Amino acid sequence: MTMTTDRAPGPETTVPPGSDPTGPVPTGSTPTGTDPSSDRDERHAWNMGAWWHVAFTVAMAAVIVLALVTGPPEWRWLTAALMVAVVVVYLVFARPLISPEKDFPSTGRALGLMGLFLLPSVPAVILNPTLVFALIAIAPVCFMTVGSVLAVATVGVILLFPTVLGGLLGWEDWASVGVSLLINGAILGYALWFGTWIERIVVQSVERYELIEALRRSREEVARLSEEAGALAEREHLAREMHDTLAQGFTSIVTLAQAVESELDSDPVTARRHLALMRETAAENLAETRAMVAARQSLRLEDEGLDASLRRICERLGRELGISVNAEVTGEPEELPNDLQICLLRTAQEALANVRKHAGARATTVTLAYTDVGVRLTVADDGLGFDTSLPAHGNGLANMRHRAATVGGLLDLESVPGRGTTVRLAIPHDDADE
């Protein structure tokens, strides 16, 4: 008995020009777009089919020999020829249907196939009742090709019709005919029950197989999406790091280079100071780049700590712009986790970069406050300010908000045109959240 199993098509494969798509596959490798489990199932089904073909051939060969040595001598060659006809029906019509990929044929085709089996087998059994042993080969073929109901009906005709005919023609007494009908009827009833039960088991097995295959494909899809999400998150993280470090450094270098161009002739001292700042900024960018390549955090934090890093970037911006940029630390300093330090430093860098590019400020203050409930960073300037209701340009503000949310902090931005801008980042302690 065969049931149809839908297999999901694998991805398309690309054959390089000039290669042989039918060539041998190296041992231990799986061709692109193939499913090893599907290949294994197909090989198993092929092996089962091959063994059944061998078993059918051996059984029918034994029945043909039995036809040649038993029964009325005048009918032996005829009955053997009828058994050969059964083999031909199997090879031509039934064998192509014995496959895991084949479903039961339509009712008309199934009846036709059973008729072809009955046409030679019933006369052979009538002429030589011993040839009923042919059912050893014929019955499984019927169950595998047309299902339990038609198979039991076909087997019943082969078993019962010669017996009934023998009673009608007086070859057997009706008592023995009745016993034979009773025994064979019980056998056929059991065969019908057992066959339909096996069919239900096969259907359930196919459904479970399809469910397992769907689950496997779902797991593969989840793994693929998880990998893509991880790669995307890593790219976004790297983009934020580059925006807050390398991009800001390069912007500072470009600004200083423009200033040096205008100062070389008129103010060499200031030009040399700006060149020193360019060299310092380039060295920091190089260190940041090496840290990213090595998948490490900021080297400056490891070397000098958060407080010193804030003072350094404030002092450098003040020298670069020629304005007052003060760094203040209040409260009792505490040892913060590295991710919190990175968040505070990057937020200060981005806020100061906006001061450089947009504020036009004369004074800026960066305050790091350690409190009982957490740590708070404030960057305030007296520059031009802007309207916070307008959509923001660039990724700076979005990056700051994302970093704050990542560590459980809250970012607040206040700005009024002509009255400066204030950026506040508050990160509570873990126990404060509870």
Q: What is the CATH number of the domain that holds 356?
A: 3.30.565.10
Assess if residue 51 is contained within a domain.
yes
Domain boundary among 172, 199, 222: 172
Out of 137, 172, 207, pick the residue that ends a domain. Answer: 172
Residue 334 is assigned to a structural domain of this protein: yes
Domain count, the chain: 2
Tens-digit pLDDT profile for residues 127-148: 888 888 888 888 888 888 888 8
253 pLDDT above the threshold of 90: no
- Assess whether pLDDT exceeds 70 at residue 20: no
> In terms of pLDDT, which residue wins out, 356 or 74?
74
Q: Is 60 exceeded by the pLDDT of residue 114?
A: yes
pLDDT of residue 276: 80
CA distance 277 to 377: 26
CB 307 within 8 A of CB 368: yes
In which domain, by residue range, is 161 found?
Answer: 36-172
Lowest mean pLDDT among 10-14, 53-57, 188-192, 292-296: 10-14
Residue 220 counted as domain residue: no
pLDDT (tens digit, 9 = 90+) per residue, 90-113?
888 888 877 655 666 777 888 888
Query: With bands split at pLDDT 50, 70 and 90, how would you rate the model's confidence at 18?
Result: very low
Query: How far is Cα 80 from Cα 123, in angstroms, rounded to an integer?
Result: 11
Which of the pair, 65 or 309, is modelled with greater confidence? 65
5: confidence class by pLDDT, cuts 50, 70, 90: very low
pLDDT at 48: 55
313, part of any domain:
no
Q: Is residue 427 predicted with pLDDT exceeding 60?
A: yes
**Residue 210 falls within a domain, yes or no?**
no
Q: Is residue 178 part of a domain?
A: no
Position 55 in a domain: yes
Q: Does the residue 22 lie in any domain? A: no
- Interval 386-414: pLDDT, tens: 877 777 666 677 878 888 888 888 888 88
Rounded Cα gap, residues 137 and 154, in angstroms: 13
* Domain final residue pick, 140, 172, 204: 172
